[in-house]
Amino acid sequence: EAGVAQSPRYKIIEKRQSVAFWCNPISGHATLYWYQQILGQGPKLLIQFQNNGVVDDSQLPKDRFSAERLKGVDSTLKIQPAKLEDSAVYLCASSKVGWRETQYFGPGTRLLVL
C-alpha cells in the first residue's frame, strides 16, 4: 500500500516570497491533516480536512497561510508571503474517518526561509 506522498521534499525561498506544498493521501483516506514542525519541537496541527471540508483550522495563520483540498483527495498548503519564522517541516497526514483511526504521516517538506 502506497503511503502519504508529499512534494517537494525541500524548498528554499526568500522572505516575502510565496510557496506551495502538495500532499497526496493514502487511497481511501477521507481525513487529511497538515502539521507544522519547527526544529526541536513536536508537530503542531495547522488544518484538518474531512473530504473537501475544513474540520479544524483554528491554528492556521490565515493572514498568510491557505489550504485547499479540491475533490477531496490531494491537498495544497500555501504560504504567501513567507516569513523567517515559517522555516519548518510541513507534514501531511491522512486517516480513515473516525477518531480511532490511525494517522499516517508523509515524509514532510522541509522549508527554509532566508
Q: Buried b vs exposed e over 24-38: b needs ≥16 C-beta within 10 Å?
A: bbbeebbbbbbbbee
Candidates 19, 60, 79, 93; binder of another protein (CB under 8 A) is 93
- Examine residue 48 and tell whether it contacts another protein (CB under 8 A): yes
Distance CA 7, CA 20 (A): 9
Q: What element of type H or E holds 98?
A: none
**By rule CB under 8 A, what count of residues binds another protein?**
23
In the bound state with another protein, the residue whose beta carbon lies nearer, of 46 and 113, is 46
Minimum distance, C-beta of residue 9 to another protein, in the bound complex (Å): 9
Regarding 95 and contact with another protein (CB under 8 A), the answer is: yes
Cβ 90 to another protein shortest distance, Å: 10
